[in-house]
Structure 1
Amino acid sequence: MATMHALLLRIVLAAALATLAAGFIATHPASAADLRPRIEIDGAIVTLGDLFDGAGDLTDRAVFRAPDLGVTGALPAADAVKAAVAAGLAVDRLPTFASVTVVRRAVMVDAEALRMLVAEAAATRLGAATENVEVTIDGTVAPVAAAATAVAPAVLSDFVLQSASGRFNAIIAIDVGGSSRPIALSGRAVETMAVPVLNRPIDRRAVIHASDVTIVRIDKRRVPGTAAIDTDELVDMAAKRPLRAGELIATADVEPPRVVLRGDLITLQYSRPGLTLSARGRALGDGAKGDIVSVLNEQSKRTIQGIVTGAGTVAVTASSPTVVKTAMN
C-alpha cells in the first residue's frame, strides 16, 4: 500500500512539473529573439544574427542590404521585426526604440596613405630613400573607405613616373570587400635633399650664426655641386657678398670672418723663451684668424708680417730676434 502511495505521488509531481514547463515554453519560445538597438557589421548584407540576439538557426539569414562602407544608417525597428517574423523567427517582445543604428565598419584611406604608396614606388624608381621623396598630389584627395577586414586596404596597381619632370600617374586599388575600387592620381614626385639656407638676409662681412640658419628640403636636381650642404660650412663664417634669405649659398660665398681690417690699430706680439716684445701698429690689409698680414709699426715706420691670432692681435713670425727688435722698436 505504501509503495502504491509513493508511486501515485511521483506521478502527480511529474505532471505538475510538466505543466509548469509547458507554461514557461509557451511564454518564452525556444526561438525567441531580442532586437539589438545598435549593430556594427563588416559585410554588404545585414543578417538576422546581426540584428537579433538569439536568432538560432536563422542567424545567417540575409534580410537587408548594409549601408555603404564607412556609413552609419538607421533601420526602422518595425521593418526589422517584420523581416524576422517573415523568416520564421519568434520575437520575444517588441522593441521600445524606433530604429536600429547600423554601422558599416571601414578603414579610411586618407591622402597621406596614398602619398606614401606613391613615395615608395617613386623611391624605387629613383633609387632614393622613401623619406627623401617629396610627393605632391594634384587637387584635393578626400578619404576613401576600404573594407575593415582588408589585409591591404590600398594597393598601387599602376605607376608611371617621368624622371625628367617628376610628373607621375598612378592607379590605387581600394579593397572594398570582395572587389576593388580604382582611384586615379596624378602629381609630382621628386627626390629631395636637406640643405641649409638663411632665415634672414645677411650683409657683406656679417658673421652667420646658428640661429640664422634653417634646414629645408628641395629638389636634389636644383642643388649645384658648389652649394653648402652642411650647417658647419656656414655657421661662424662671414658673408663675402650680401646674402638673401632662403637662397642656396655657395661655399665660395662665405669666408672666415675678418678680425683685422686694413687700417685697424692692432697689437703686435712676439714671444720666445727669454724674450717677449709688443708694439702698436697699423694693419696694411684684412685678415681672418690664421691669415698672414703686414703691419706698419707707426713708431719705427717699419713693416713686419705676422699671423692674425684674434681681433686686433697679430703674432710676429720673423725668426730672427734682431730683425724683430729692429721692426718693433
Structure 2
Amino acid sequence: MLRRTRPLIIALALGGSLALPAAAGQTAARPETARDGAAQQTAALPDQLGSIDLKRPAIVSADVVTLGDLFTGLSAEQAGTPIARSPKLGESVPVDAAWLGLLAQHYKVAWQPRSHLDGTVVEHQAIVIGVPEVQDAVTKLLDDESNGEKLEVTVDNPSLSIALPLDSDGRFGLEGLRRDDRSGRFTVTLVYPETGQPTIRMPISGRAVQLVEVPVLLRRVADNEIISSGDVGWETRRADRLGSNLLTDPKDIIGLSPKRSLRAGEPVRAGDLRPPVLVERNSLVTMRLKAANMVLTAQGRALDDGGQGSVVRVVNLKSNTIVQATVAEAGVVDVGGTAQAALN
C-alpha cells in the first residue's frame, strides 16, 4: 500500500540521489533539451526498439533502483545495474518520459519514449500499518477488558501510517492503554516489533464509543399504518448519537402507529408513536351505553381522531348533542351514564 507521492526534481533523482553522468567526451543533457534528444534517439535506433518495454508502475522492494526495475527485456547483467536510491518505504516517485529517454541513452538501453506521456512511477513496496490496522488492534484490546461491551474505535490521526520492509512480519504491539469511561478518550503506545527491542514507539490517541443494538423500522411507515412485528429489525448504533426517549424494546413499538411518517432505518422514540386510529374524524360511529341488563346505542359522528381508550367528541346525529366518549373499538365509542340523554 503506497500512500504519498513526491514530484521529480532532477533526472530520475529518486530521493535526490541520481544525476545522469556524462559519457566520455560528452556533456550531460540539460532538462530543457531532454525531450528533443529523446526524439532524435528514437530515429537513431529503429531496429532495436520494441523488444524492451517500460514497467508501469516500476515496483521496487530494495533500497536501490536498478535498470531491471524500470525496463523489461534486459539481459541479467544490464538489469542488475543500480541507478538510484529507492524512494522511502511506502512512497512513490513519478518519472517523466524525457528523463527516461536520457536514462536509456546513457545506459545504452534500446528504448525511447513515443510521447511525453511515456512515463512511469517508481513505487517502493512496503507493509503499511495504517488506521484500520491500529483501530482493529485497539478494539480487540478494549474488548478484552470491557466485559462484552461493544465499542467503535476512532484514532485522532486519520493519516497515521507506518511503512515496514516487505520481509518483516508486520506484527506490532500496544502498551500502556488508558481509557476514560466517561468521555471514551484513550491513549496507547504502538511498539514495533511486537516482541524484542522496539525500533518504533508511537503514541496513539483516540476515542472508543459504546455501540448498542436498537430496534429500527425496516420500511417507511405512514402515519395511518399500524406497525407489525415484520416492520421492526435491529441495527447497531453509537450510543452517543441516539439521544433521549429512544425505544429499545420492540414490544413498545409493535401495534402502534406513527404520529408522522417514519423512514426505514430510523430508530423510534416514544413521542413518535400513538395508539392506532380506530375512529377517524368525521366518520360515523356507534355510540354505546352499557347498563346493567341492556345496551343502548345511537348513531353519531366523531369530531376527533382516536385510538383505543382515547376520549373523543361525538355528535348525536338525531339530537345534535355533543358528548365525550371513549373509543372502544373500530367505529364504536362508549358513553358514560351521565351522557345517557345524549342517546335520545
Q: How far did residue 251 of structure 1 move? A: 1.3
Number of the residue aligned with 1:259: 278
In 1, distance between residues paired with 2:298 and 2:193?
82
Report if aligned partners of 1:173, 1:183 keep a CA contact under 8 Å in 2: yes
Q: Paired residue for 2:296, among 269, 273, 277?
A: 277
Confirm whether residue 317 of structure 1 aligns to residue 332 of structure 2. no
- Does structure 2 retain, via aligned residues, the 8 Å contact 1:263–1:284? yes
| Displacement of 1:227 | 2.1
Show the 5 A alignment for 1:296-315: 296-315=315-334
CA deviations on 1:269-306 (whole Å, 9 max, x unpaired) are 11121232112211111111001112112122222322
Separation in 1, partners of 2:245, 2:199: 48
1:301–1:187 CA distance, 2 compared to 1 (3 A): same
Counterpart of 2:275, as a letter, is: P
In 1: Cα distance, 2:201 partner to 2:220 partner: 45
Residue in structure 1 matched with residue 213 of structure 2 by the alignment: 194
Q: Decide whether the 8 Å contact of 1:158 with 1:172 is kept in 2.
A: no
* 1:142-153 pair list within 5 angstroms: none
Given the alignment, which residue of 115, 130, 150 partners 2:148? 130
- Counterpart of 2:313 in structure 1 is 294
Match of 2:232 among 213, 223, 241: 213
Task: Give distance in 2, aligned partners of 1:245 and 1:188.
Answer: 29
Q: Displacement of 1:208 after TM fit? A: 1.7
CA change 1:233–1:215 in 2 (3 A) is: same
- Distance in 1 (CA, whole Å) between partners of 2:218 and 2:263 is 8
CA–CA distance in structure 2, aligned partners of residues 308 and 120 of structure 1: 54
For CA contacts below 8 A with separation 6 or more, give which structure has more relative contact order.
2
Residue 261 (structure 2) aligned to one of 218, 242, 250: 242
Letter of the 1:254 partner, please give it.
L
Letter in 2 for 1:191: Q
- Structure 1 residues 292 and 133, CA, compared in 2 at 3 Å: closer, same or farther? same
Match of 2:343? Answer: 328
User: What's the TM-score once normalised by structure 2's chain length?
Assistant: 0.48
CA contact under 8 A between 1:174 and 1:183: conserved in structure 2? no
Larger radius of gyration between Structure 1 and Structure 2: 1
1:172–1:246: structure 2 CA closer, same or farther, 3 Å change rule?
farther
Map residues 1-329 of structure 1 onto 2, 5 A cutoff: 115-121=139-145, 123=146, 129-135=147-153, 156-161=174-179, 164=183, 169-171=188-190, 189-319=208-338, 324=340, 326-329=341-344
Distance 1:312 1:275 in 2: 20
Superimposed CA distance per residue, residues 118-161 of structure 1 (whole angstroms, 9 cap, x where no aligned partner):
3234x3xxxxx433323468899xxx989xxxxxx997523255
Query: How has the CA–CA distance of structure 1 residues 254 and 181 changed in structure 2, closer, same or farther, with 3 Å as cutoff?
Result: farther
Between the aligned residues of both structures, percent identity stands at 29
Task: Flag the structure with higher helix content.
Answer: 1
**Cα distance, 1:220–1:306 mapped onto 2, change above 3 Å:** same
**What secondary structure, in the 3-state scheme, does the structure 2 residue paired with 1:130 have?**
coil
> Separation in 1 of the partners of 2:260 and 2:139?
40
Distance 1:217 1:168 in 2: 25
Q: Is the 8 A contact 2:138 2:153 kept in 1?
A: no
Letter in 2 for 1:157: E
RMSD: 3.8
Asked if 2 retains the 8 angstrom alpha-carbon contact of 1:159 and 1:171, the reply is no
Shift, 1:309, TM fit: 0.7
Equivalent residue, structure 2, for 1:75: none
CA distance in 2, matches of 1:256, 1:305: 18
Return closer, same or farther for 1:261/1:131 CA change in 2, 3 Å cut-off: same
Deviations 1:45-68 (A, max 9, x none): xxxxxxxxxxxxxxxxxxxxxxxx
Residues 26-73 of structure 1 deviation map (CA, whole Å, 9 limit, x = unaligned) = xxxxxxxxxxxxxxxxxxxxxxxxxxxxxxxxxxxxxxxxxxxxxxxx
TM-score scaled to structure 1, two decimals? 0.50
Other structure's SS at 1:119 match: helix
Structure 2: distance between partners of 1:265 and 1:254 = 25
CA distance in 2, matches of 1:253, 1:244: 12
* Distance in structure 1 (CA, Å) of the matches to 2:255 and 2:191: 49
Change (3 A) 1:118 1:165: closer
Q: Distance in 2 between matches of 1:170 and 1:244?
A: 43
Q: Which stretches in structure 2 are left out of the alignment for 5+ residues?
A: 1-134, 162-167
CA distance in structure 2 between the partners assigned to 1:168 and 1:259 by the alignment: 57
Between the aligned partners of 1:310 and 1:154, the Cα distance in structure 2 is 66
Report the residue type matching 1:291 in the other structure: S
